[in-house]
């Protein structure tokens, strides 16, 4: 299904945004070439500005009654811009979805073991790290803190 999207007020509708994330230039008669941004998202150049494809698709096809500012890729594939793979979300919901997807199972297992004090059965940090396939320093970082930490793109999160 093809639909038009108004990208600027008071301008002709020169672009067609499709549900699958392709963008068609009516004036040029071609599909716009998509680039991958430095953050891994598909983008296109429109009116001398870079526009994120997932945002164009969401604005056109997804209702946003709660006025949420972010868009989440449900399958966490930043290049999958089909409308069925996108949802509006808050910054907090977006961060939590990212944490849940990127959380390393090894760290989660360490967190569980620390939480139930199972780690006391081993006598040395080195043997504990080896048993859990962790680096020595990574395990020490976990042991020194009362709560498990998750680092994501320079932002720290604590999970109690």
Beta pairing class for 2-4 and 148-152? unpaired
What pTM does this model have? 0.59
Instruction: Tell me the three state secondary structure of residue 139.
Output: helix
Give the pLDDT confidence of 34-66 residue by residue, as tens digits. Answer: 999 988 999 999 988 899 999 999 999 999 999
- Which residue ranges make up each domain of the chain? 2-89, 103-159
For the chain, how many helices (H) and strands (E)?
5, 11
**CATH code linked to domain 2-89:** 3.90.75.20
> What confidence tens digit (pLDDT) does each residue in 76-104 have?
899 999 999 999 999 888 888 877 776 55
Tokens of 153: 């793109």
Contacts of 114 (CB under 8 A, 6+ apart): 142, 143, 148
């Amino acid at each position: 299904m093809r639909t038009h999207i108004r990208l600027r007020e008071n301008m002709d509708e020169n672009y067609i945004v499709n549900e699958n994330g392709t963008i068609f230039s009516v004036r040029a008669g071609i599909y716009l070439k998509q680039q991958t941004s430095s953050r891994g998202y598909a983008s296109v150049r429109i009116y001398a500005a870079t526009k994120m494809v997932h945002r164009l698709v969401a604005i056109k096809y997804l209702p946003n009654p709660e006025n949420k500012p972010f868009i989440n890729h449900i399958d966490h594939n930043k290049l999958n811009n089909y409308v069925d793979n996108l949802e509006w979300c808050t910054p907090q919901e977006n961060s939590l979805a990212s944490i849940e997807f990127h959380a390393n199972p090894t760290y989660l297992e360490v967190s569980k073991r620390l939480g139930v004090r199972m780690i006391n059965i081993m006598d040395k940090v080195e043997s504990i790290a080896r048993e859990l396939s962790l680096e020595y320093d990574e395990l020490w970082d976990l042991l020194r803190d009362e709560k498990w930490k998750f680092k994501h793109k320079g932002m720290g999160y604590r999970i109690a």
